Amino acid sequence: SKMTVKAVKMPCTSANVYTKVPDGGWGWTVAFAFFVVEALTYGIIKSFGVFFNDLMESFDETNSRISWIISICVFVQTFTAPLSTVLSNRFGHRLVVMAGGLLVSAGMVIASFASSVVHMYVTIGIVSGLGYCLSFLPTVTILSQYFDKRRSLVTAVASTGECFAVFSFAPAITALKEQIGWRYSMLSVGVLQLGITACGSLLRPIVIREQEEVKAQPPEESTETKYMLENEQTCTSIESIDSGVDITTSPSNVPGKTKAEPKSEEPKQHGQNPVDNNSTPPEPKTKLLDFSVMRDYSFICYAFFGLFATLGFFAPSLYIIPLSRSLGIGKDHSAYILSAMAIAEVFGRIFAGWLLNKKPIRKIYIELICVILLSVALVAFPFASGFWGLMICSVYFGFMLGTVAGTHIPLLAEDDVVGIERMSSAAGVYVFIQSLAGLAGPPLAGVLVDTTKNYSSAFYSCAAGMVLGAVFLALVRPCKTGLCHHHQQQQQQQQQVEESMAGPPPELPDDFIDMDIGKAENSGKGSDSV
């Protein structure tokens, strides 16, 4: 039996309706598209550190002012997340991602001709930042809709695209700069990012209908058989009743059939075409953005976790090369350290996806353990000395970063947070809240570096934010099981009070089985008299 039942028109293209999550199929193509989008969005952002010293020398600017380029980019990317959700719900994921790819490429290409750091604030910070948002968030959202049992593993593996990008882009861009300079290298990166548009064209939308809505109701024969069995239990045998009883046991011949006929005919229609009957009446409008998730205490705690944890996501990869240079490590070896971090992040994402795919397991607790270990990795950087010391810290940090970065957004689909039904709106609001940390994180680290003249202070600030994020993450599950459960009990008690005040239900008409038995008795008396 085919799961695809009917094609339904969507804003951009037709979508297949599934009775349940396909957990594969075209989802593998979407996973590949997400892999490439990750590489050309977050992979480029994390590799931007290779341009850091060149921009400082060309524009004669400080660490903090150059850091504002990525800071504004990350802020715009996360701050406009609700806009991305609204546009995706209105026009479809495909068109939004393709438009985002054009913005990303245009911003990076124009930035290669910038004459001041302010120009890069606008081109990379605003234009490309908006494009990153329109490209990444719709892709990860629609990928979560294609998978259920394999969601954690597939999302984690597909998200390794940024890791492979950092591993390959950092040395490649460094070598390219020596040949053609940083401006033409940045221009080449912008042209490469046009691949996001091609990936967006692969995002075929789907519609998942609940099984209760699509499942065919019992056919008419089962309804009649039910009443015949009830008669059999009441009388000694169905054969002891004459043929007239068989006719009256049909629901269509029961008095008051105006109420019974729709019930008997409707299942027949459902059995013939389950989706046509459900899709014919106008469906209620889907909210473009559902802010009701803000009333969920577990989501609020999870959003604060994302807010503070974001402080530790971007700054280490941005400052790892300047830190290595300050320790006397050469350019080539510094790029190798960043590449090693990216390789370790690949294994971290795959390991987290494999672990979270195990059942039964409480995924929110696994995430908490990974966040705590990631905080330890950030604290370890200032104690590193020499190439191998920094390499060990980078590998450890990259592995733990992979376990958190690849799962914190897909984890919104779990019932411990909001669930798959509100995943789209929750992701938009969640990333929107992250925008404050994305804006403040890199500049705060830059100010600390300029004040203390030591790159270690940047990693300490990241570690402090990650620890605060772990505290709020630890409160997610208690809020879901405690406060929410208490709220549900209050609602149930209130509903019981309302039902008791409403009084007893109205009396139903006599069942036609009694009428059948009465007729059987009358027919028996008539035969005796004869």
**206 with 311, same domain?**
no
Q: Please indicate, yes or no, if residue 297 is contained in any of the structural domains.
A: yes
Q: Please indicate, yes or no, if residue 242 is contained in any of the structural domains.
A: no
Q: Please indicate, yes or no, if residue 191 is contained in any of the structural domains.
A: yes
**381 with 489, same domain?**
yes
Q: What is the pLDDT of residue 314?
A: 66
Structurally, the chain folds into a number of domains equal to 2
Nearest to 193 by CA among 91, 112, 83: 112
- The pLDDT confidence band at residue 345, using thresholds 50, 70 and 90, is confident
**172 with 297, same domain?**
no
The widest CA-to-CA distance across the chain, in whole angstroms, is: 119
- Give the 3-state secondary structure of residue 208: strand
Question: How far is 175 from 185, CA to CA, in rounded Å?
Answer: 9
Nearest to 387 by CA among 329, 316, 345: 329
Asked if 491 and 463 count as a contact pair (C-beta separation under 8 A), the reply is no
Region of poorest pLDDT, from 285-289, 320-324, 344-348, 481-485: 285-289
What φ, ψ does residue 3 adopt, rounded to 5°?
Answer: -80, -30
**CA distances for 242 relative to 199, 245, 246, 516, 522, angstroms:** 71, 6, 7, 10, 11
Q: What is the pLDDT of residue 413?
A: 74
**150 with 63, same domain?**
yes
DSSP run (H or E) holding 14: strand 14-18
pLDDT at 19 over 80: no
Tokens for 231, please give them.
């008669």
Tokens for 483, please give them.
């406060």
Strand order in the sheet with 206-208: 4-9, 14-18, 206-208
Nearest to 458 by CA among 450, 81, 72: 450
DSSP run (H or E) holding 8: strand 4-9
The CATH number covering residue 303 comes to 1.20.1250.20
**206 with 318, same domain?**
no
Tokens for 180, please give them.
């053609």
Contacts of 460 (CB under 8 A, 6+ apart): 378, 379, 382, 448
Q: Please indicate, yes or no, if residue 522 is contained in any of the structural domains.
A: no
**202 with 298, same domain?**
no
Q: Which of 211, 239, 260 is the last residue of a domain?
A: 211
**39 with 177, same domain?**
yes
Q: pTM of this prediction?
A: 0.61
Question: How far is 401 from 380, CA to CA, in rounded Å?
Answer: 14
Q: How far apart are the first and last CA of the chain?
A: 58
Nearest to 418 by CA among 467, 479, 459: 479
Q: Which of 148, 177, 211 is the last residue of a domain?
A: 211
Contacts of 139 (CB under 8 A, 6+ apart): 30, 33, 34, 37, 93, 97, 199, 200, 203
Q: Which of 211, 245, 273 is the last residue of a domain?
A: 211
What φ, ψ does residue 206 adopt, rounded to 5°?
Answer: -135, 160
pLDDT at 383 over 80: yes
Q: Please indicate, yes or no, if residue 101 is contained in any of the structural domains.
A: yes
Q: What is the pLDDT of residue 524?
A: 54
Nearest to 166 by CA among 325, 387, 340: 340
Burial 479-504 (b: 16+ CB within 10 A, else e): bbeeeeeeeeeeeeeeeeeeeeeeee
What's the pLDDT tens digit per position in 394-424? 899 989 988 887 778 777 777 777 777 777 6
- The pLDDT confidence band at residue 288, using thresholds 50, 70 and 90, is low
Q: What is the pLDDT of residue 126?
A: 93
Q: What is the pLDDT of residue 184?
A: 92
pLDDT at 289 over 90: no
Most confidently modeled range among 183-187, 342-346, 411-415, 425-429: 183-187
Question: How far is 21 from 19, CA to CA, in rounded Å?
Answer: 7
Range of the domain at 476: 289-495
Q: Please indicate, yes or no, if residue 8 is contained in any of the structural domains.
A: no
Question: How far is 472 from 97, CA to CA, in rounded Å?
Answer: 32
**204 with 316, same domain?**
no
**197 with 301, same domain?**
no
Question: How far is 78 from 84, CA to CA, in rounded Å?
Answer: 10
- The pLDDT confidence band at residue 277, using thresholds 50, 70 and 90, is very low
Q: Please indicate, yes or no, if residue 259 is contained in any of the structural domains.
A: no
What's the pLDDT tens digit per position in 448-491? 887 888 888 888 888 888 999 899 988 888 887 775 555 556 66
Pairing of strands 14-18, 4-9: antiparallel
**299 with 405, same domain?**
yes
Burial 362-401 (b: 16+ CB within 10 A, else e): ebbebbbebbbbbbebbbbbbebeebeebbebbbbbbbbb
Percent of the chain with pLDDT over 90: 14
Q: What is the pLDDT of residue 186?
A: 92
Question: How far is 88 from 140, CA to CA, in rounded Å?
Answer: 12
Q: Please indicate, yes or no, if residue 279 is contained in any of the structural domains.
A: no
**26 with 149, same domain?**
yes
**Cross-strand bridge partners of residue 14:** 9
DSSP run (H or E) holding 6: strand 4-9
**183 with 316, same domain?**
no
Asked if 229 and 38 count as a contact pair (C-beta separation under 8 A), the reply is no
Instruction: Say which residue the tokens 């968030």 belong to.
Output: 137
Q: Examine residue 360 and say whether the peptide bond preceding it is cis (omega within 30 degrees of 0).
A: yes
